[in-house]
Amino acid sequence: MDEETNLLKPENYMRLQFASRSENESFARVSVAAFITQLDPTMEELTEIKTAVSEAVTNAIIHGYEGRSGEVRLECRIWNRTVEIAVEDDGVGIEDVEQARQPLYTSRPDLERSGMGITIMENFVDEFMIDSIPGQGTRVRLRKVIAANRDLEQ
């Protein structure tokens, strides 16, 4: 079976849909963490995934909807020890994705945001993809392989 087929038929998956409220960020982060425990990730792997999810959801809430109410959709899929997470909103979208990917760039300096969310996501996962259409929304995809058969740490 090729990788493309595996992407279409995950071994396991979950979907969440929630209001774009900041208090739901922890719900999303903890839900993904609980779901991926079936792969027995290291504490480092788990922390990296939780942090990346936190950043993606926070960006959808703060930047996607800019204070308006909306909905965030999250999907987590597992296949061959790979975790793929998609976070999607129907918000304002990103005018210039390349500019948004620059460290320290923020579209909301009024909120004293650090501008490091995308950089953090890129550094904590194996693959980071972002698709955005101005006026229609943004979809962030995070992919990370969870190591198997680790030696016991000494």
> pTM of the prediction?
0.84
Of the pLDDT bands very low, low, confident and very high (cuts 50, 70, 90), residue 148 is confident
Q: Reading across the β-sheet that carries 12-19, which strands appear in turn?
A: 12-19, 71-79, 82-89, 137-145, 127-133
Average the pLDDT over 109-131 and give the result.
83
Is the distance from CB of 72 to CB of 87 less than 8 angstroms? Answer: yes
**Across all residues in the chain, what is the average pLDDT?**
87
Say what the pLDDT of residue 5 is.
Answer: 45
Topology of domain 10-145 in CATH is Heat Shock Protein 90 (3.30.565)
Say what the pLDDT of residue 154 is.
Answer: 41
- Residues annotated catalytic, as ranges: 55, 59, 113
